[in-house]
Amino acid sequence: MSHAYRELILGGQKSGKSARAELQAAQWLAQPQRQAVLIATAQAWDPEMAARIERHQSDRALRVPGLQTVESPLDWPAELQRLSRHDTLVVVDCLTLWLTNLMMPIDPAAAVGVDGLARRVSEAAEALARASGPVLLVSNEIGLGVIPMGREVRAFVDALGLLNQRLAQACDRVTLMAAGLPLTLKALA
């Protein structure tokens, strides 16, 4: 992994996306004088999600002890700009929850509209392009099933598909995870 490397890791729930990112972070940290930071986008909106986040944090600390965590549920692009350096790997986990936070917040009045969402996606792509160090992006691939019934859910699936496409274009590598196995969709030589 070079200092300007960018990878988008896609997959379904429990496909191994985060495990792949953590493995790469551990490999990055094995070299002297390197750091790694995970930008977490999850929010604890209910007791089950709070417990899930706590479990992920403790498990991750055991698997990759040197991986620092910064929570940024709404503005990971600004955190990426703040944290990115040639010696620091930044992992963003995950884009799906970030999009959920923007489109379907607890307070419906805080939801970004179509124009706001387009602006935020552009900011994300620009932040990725400006990052001076390696970046791993984790996102769900949810567009492989049946078309959702509700208008809001269809809008979300469409928005996530477009977000994934936009960021995949800016990445050196795109990996689809299935059953814990990586499938390379894009790899620049």
Q: Which residues are known to be catalytic?
A: 56
Residue 177, burial from CB neighbour count under 10 angstroms (0-12, 13-18, 19+): buried
Token pair, residue 128, equals 């990725």
Pairing of strands 67-71, 88-93: unpaired
Give 138's contacts (C-beta < 8 A, 6+ positions apart).
9, 17, 18, 21, 91, 92, 93, 94, 95
Token pair, residue 103, equals 């489109």
Minimal CA–CA distance to 148: which of 164, 160, 166, 139?
160
Rounded CA-CA distance 18/23 in Å is 9
Give 92's contacts (C-beta < 8 A, 6+ positions apart).
38, 39, 41, 76, 80, 98, 135, 136, 137, 138
